[in-house]
């Protein structure tokens, strides 16, 4: 995607009395201990010029940074390396940010995405000083977001001041995919009037009081977006098992008689599973995506006419995927909708549509508890993101993961997870390359048998069975040998 193809003259992007300043001037106006709420979700749509100017300013900064989902290296690498971040909410993906959090250099608080807008707008975590956002156009009291929306409308409402970056590398026509709807505040919040994943109930712009605007700067810097690996043999086997499960479920469940609503978690496995749907026969059913992120695999399904609607809060695409979308934005806008994250992840709407949610994890234990975020129960990897929103509220919440890690050296099916993000009551089905464990309606002991027989790697099944025998000697509804729960790969 070249600037010649997609850049627009300033008069098409900047309207009213708005004037442009350089990023260094705007960065200098930010107090050293400010709380900044930034746009960005799925490593796209985040501000770049102002964070870079802050990182390069040589100031002694102790910033609190709030984003929605993941952002790029300008924030979570450069500002971290500059020692400029003191506190971080609620998600990150870079090795530098992860290391600083695990070493206690950055205070980190995680949060479910569906709750984040309320938590910030109502001041339950922090008071936002300045919202710094990326846009493709701006007027005196409005702007058009770029490739993601996330909690940005709530951040703008909560912030005392606003800085906007116009990204000239992106097409102005992105406005056509946005549907910005703001729910009212409790206790007078009305039901969200969304009755179909493709329906539009809001506007294409985010409004703000004109007096909040500190300034506008321009950039052509592109996102540090996703790079998806080629599907592995395990990915393909997981996909085959998922499709087999879906075929039976869609045939038997009356909810899916006319339409199917799907959601997939972000990442290479999720993208591979999306792509595998191209080989699936949904019959004459309408097929929609109602989730958090749109990845390259969904573009394939839209291009092939296998998907009717893709609704999310972020276009978490690779660079190639961004080019593809932006070069044909008018066509994609007919089927793609971006919403604020408190709509895309809203529990009532996810439940209303009967979504089949497919998310991954680090590990799952024999009884169905899921660890999505912490290696060894102690070291943060990323954050919970929206997985809890869908695991708790989807009609059929599925966890998909490979049965082992580190080339088979580690089992990801374990007796007891050392950190619990999703409880046994949240998950209905677990799928690995080994098979499918349908846990619905089963007792804990029955769940354990299903997990060993259908999800664990054969090399670890004997050790898991021995653990269960030891655990059952002590009885209990959920048998555990707590002295051996994390040291279970041995005889006895």
Strands (E), 185-248: 206-207, 213-219
pLDDT digits (tens, 9 = 90+) for 203-260: 999 999 999 999 999 999 999 877 778 889 999 999 999 999 999 999 999 999 999 9
List pLDDT tens digits, range 413-456: 999 999 999 999 999 999 999 999 999 999 999 999 999 999 99
Q: 337 near 313, Cβ under 8 Å?
A: no
DSSP string, 281-328: --TT-EEEEESSB--HHHHHHHHTT--SEEEESB----HHHHHHHHTT
Q: Are 159 and 179 in contact (CB under 8 A)?
A: no
DSSP E strand boundaries for 31-80: 35-38, 63-66
> CB of 382 within 8 A of CB of 42?
no
pLDDT band at 490 (very low <50, low <70, confident <90, very high): low
**Token digits for 132?**
């710094």
Reported as a single tens digit per residue, the pLDDT across 133-164 is: 999 999 999 999 999 999 999 999 999 999 99
pTM listed for this prediction: 0.94
Cα gap 280→300, rounded to integer Å: 13
Q: Would the CATH topology of 3-219 be identical to that of 233-473?
A: yes
CA atoms within a 13 Å half-sphere pointing along the CA-CB vector of 116: 34
Instruction: Say yes or no: domain 3-219 is CATH 3.40.50.150.
Output: no
Is 3.40.1080.10 the CATH classification of the domain at 233-473?
Answer: yes
pLDDT tier at 340 (50, 70, 90 boundaries)? very high
Task: Give the residue numbers marked as catalytic.
Answer: 292
Domain ranges (residues) in the chain: 3-219, 233-473
Q: What are the DSSP calls for 435-464, one per residue?
A: EEEE-TT--HHHHHHHHHHHTS-HHHHHHH
Q: Read off the pLDDT of each residue in 303-313 and give the average, rounded to a whole number.
A: 96
């Amino acid at each position: 995607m070249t600037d010649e193809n997609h850049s627009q003259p300033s008069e098409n992007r900047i309207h009213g009395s708005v004037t442009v300043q350089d990023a260094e001037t705007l960065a200098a106006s930010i107090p050293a201990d400010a709380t900044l709420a930034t746009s960005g979700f799925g490593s796209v749509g985040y501000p770049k010029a102002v964070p870079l100017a802050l990182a390069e300013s040589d100031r002694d900064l102790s910033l609190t940074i709030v984003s929605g989902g993941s952002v790029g290296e300008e924030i979570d690498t450069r500002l971290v390396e500059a020692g400029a971040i003191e506190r971080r909410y609620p998600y990150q993906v870079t090795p530098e940010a992860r290391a600083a959090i695990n070493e206690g250099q950055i205070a980190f608080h995680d949060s479910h995405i569906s709750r984040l807008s309320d938590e910030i707008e109502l001041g339950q975590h922090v008071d936002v000083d300045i919202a710094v956002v990326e846009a493709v156009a701006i007027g005196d009291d409005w702007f058009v977001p770029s490739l993601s929306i996330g909690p940005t409308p709530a951040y703008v409402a909560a912030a005392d001041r606003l800085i906007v970056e116009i990204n000239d590398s992106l097409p102005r026509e992105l406005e056509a995919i946005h549907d910005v709807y703001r729910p009212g505040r409790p206790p007078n919040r009305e039901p969200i009037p969304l009755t179909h994943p493709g329906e539009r109930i809001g506007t294409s712009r985010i409004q703000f009081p004109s007096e909040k605007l500190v300034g506008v700067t321009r950039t052509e810097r592109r996102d540090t977006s996703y790079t998806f690996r080629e599907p592995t043999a395990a990915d393909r086997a997981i996909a085959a098992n998922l499709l087999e499960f879906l075929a039976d479920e869609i045939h038997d469940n009356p909810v899916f008689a006319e339409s199917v609503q799907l959601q997939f978690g972000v990442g290479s496995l999720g993208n591979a599973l999306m792509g595998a749907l191209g080989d699936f026969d949904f019959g004459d059913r309408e097929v929609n995506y109602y989730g958090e992120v749109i990845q390259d695999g969904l573009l394939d399904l839209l291009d092939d006419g296998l998907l009717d609607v893709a609704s999310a809060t972020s276009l978490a695409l690779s660079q190639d995927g961004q080019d593809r979308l932006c070069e044909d934005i008018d066509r994609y806008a007919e089927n793609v909708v971006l919403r604020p994250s408190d709509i895309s992840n809203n529990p009532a709407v996810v439940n209303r549509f009967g979504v089949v949610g497919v998310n991954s994890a680090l590990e799952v234990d024999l009884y169905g508890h899921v660890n999505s975020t912490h290696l060894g129960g102690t070291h943060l990897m990323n954050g919970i993101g929206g997985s809890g929103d869908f695991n708790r509220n989807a009609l059929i919440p599925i966890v998909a993961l490979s049965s082992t890690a580190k080339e088979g050296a580690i089992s990801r099916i374990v007796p007891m997870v050392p950190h619990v993000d999703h409880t046994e009551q949240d998950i209905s089905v677990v799928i690995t390359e080994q098979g499918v464990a349908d846990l619905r309606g089963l007792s804990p002991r029955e769940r354990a048998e299903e997990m060993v027989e259908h999800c664990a790697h054969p090399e670890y099944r004997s050790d898991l069975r021995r653990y269960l025998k030891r655990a059952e000697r002590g009885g209990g509804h959920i048998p555990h040998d707590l002295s051996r729960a994390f040291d279970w790969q041995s005889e006895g």
